[in-house]
Amino acid sequence: PKLLRFLENGEFRRIGGITTLSSNIRIIAATNRNLMEFADQKKFRRDLLFRLNIITLTIPPLAERGNDISLLAEFFLNQKCSINSPKTLSPEAKSELLNYEFPGNVRELEHIIERAIIFSEGNIIELRDLNLPKFGKLSEYEEGPDEDILKLDDIERLHIRKALNLFEWNRENTARALGISQKTLYTKIKKYSLK
């Protein structure tokens, strides 16, 4: 009720206080869930939903925003590269990014670019540097033969081993390239008995 009252009229009371204070703020909230369905299922408070839901902006997934992929890729390249060693995407790499499904949306694109910067040897990021998972292209995955399917643990083990070898077992660089913490990397090395 205190949050609802605050959202409704901007009034609140500090813990232990007796004076009612007011604030003029705007709340920006984001979700990838259908909150109306959650409210119908009693998983989200309907009264809270209506107080938050003043203006709704629906942003389509990155895979449906082709122009944004190129712009965001360039933005992340400029952001992550040092001033002394700028990098660009080869035409093949750009094309591959435009055809990729991005199940992880913008955050996945950011990590792909960061990983490609680390893997690339020159000033141009080539297609091989992107190291995109094959299942990122839904059309290829759906049409691929069933005998090519590996267990997720096997894929993860192979991928971690490849990254470790690439970075000569430097765990800090390997973890950064994989987008995981060093602690998580250590746990996975132990889990898969990698040596």
**Domain tally, the chain:** 3
Shared-domain flag, residues 180 and 135: no
pLDDT of residue 18: 94
State whether 132 and 96 are in the same domain.
Answer: yes
What pTM was computed for the model? 0.54
Q: What confidence score (pLDDT) does residue 47 get?
A: 92
Same domain? For 67 and 90 the reply is: yes
If asked whether residues 70 and 135 sit together in one domain, one would say: yes
Q: Are residues 143 and 159 in the same domain?
A: no
Task: Encode pLDDT of 76-125 as tens digits.
Answer: 999 988 766 789 999 999 999 998 888 788 999 999 999 899 888 889 99
pLDDT of residue 14: 92
Please determine, for residue 174, whether its predicted confidence score (pLDDT) is greater than 50.
yes
| Domain with 7 in it | 2-52
C-alpha torsion 111→115→117→118, nearest 10? 140
Query: What is the CATH number for 74?
Result: 1.10.8.60
Pairing of strands 124-125, 88-89: parallel
If asked whether residues 130 and 72 sit together in one domain, one would say yes
pLDDT at 159 over 90: no
Mean pLDDT, residues 171-181 taken together? 88
The pLDDT of residue 138 is 40
CATH number, residue 164: 1.10.10.60
Report the mean per-residue pLDDT for the chain.
85
| The pLDDT of residue 149 | 64
